[in-house]
A = this chain, B = another copy of it.
Amino acid sequence: MADSKGTNITWHQGHVERKDREKLLSQRGATLWLTGLSGSGKSTVAVAAEKALLQRGHLAYVLDGDNVRHGLNKNLGFSPEDRTENIRRIAEVAKLFTDAGVIALTSFISPYRADRDAARAIFAPGDFVEIHVSTALETCESRDPKGLYKKARAGQIPEFTGISAPYEAPERPELVLDTGALSVEESVAALLRYLEEKGTLSA
């Protein structure tokens, strides 16, 4: 390299590659893309899966509204263009985490098929795992943990997914989790079983 003075350097020849990091971590990098209605249980499952993975010695990281909307994406609003850009940036960041060898879990409603397909398209095959948290609207609305459905029904929130804006369900998700039928443990168990079968949890 032009800016190396040494000639007997062996340890910096060649870049670290993803597989080197994956070997260190004893896992494969992956992005688990959770999509579903508000109140469907995406974040609960993501956070519980992160914990279950950590307890098995795996490095996982949740990207969600808390750490993305107020940081990287704080200059985005809710126009159609901004919503698309929101999902695009999340996908690009999740791709970086995947390349770093981390199991990234993204927890965003991501209601539009085109946006999710565009996210999938930037990943290598197998790296992007679409998980439809398919909990029925009625169940989500009855939970209404943030009181958003009530406000949406009252017309106080325009374009609320499932009420006044569409949710386009995935056509071929890698995994479907209905938290109306499955407990959080069962959902996490199904998710981990999928990762085990795909070889994500060893490298």
Contacts and interface: CB of A to CB of B under 8 A. Distances in A.
Contact of A12 (B11, B48, B95): B48
A154 to B, nearest CB: 20
Contacts of A95: 71
A92 interface: yes
A52 B11 contact: yes
Nearest to A23: B54
Given A5-B183, A145-B2, A59 B97 contact: no
A71 B51 contact: no
A93 interface: yes
A55 interface: yes
Tier of interface size on chain A: 35 or more
Contact of A52 (B12, B44, B96, B97): B12
A71 to B, nearest CB: 5
B100 A16 contact: no
B16 A51 contact: yes
A13 to B, nearest CB: 9
A79 interface: no
A185 interface: yes
Interface in A60-102: 60-63, 67-68, 71-72, 75, 85, 89, 92-93, 95-97, 99-102
A102 B85 CA distance: 26
A158 to B, nearest CB: 24
Nearest to A61: B100
Nearest to A67: B96
Contacts of A135: 3
A26 to B, nearest CB: 11
Going nearest first, the 8 A-B pairs with the smallest beta carbon separation are A12-B48, A72-B92, A3-B41, A5-B183, A61-B100, A2-B145, A71-B92, A2-B143
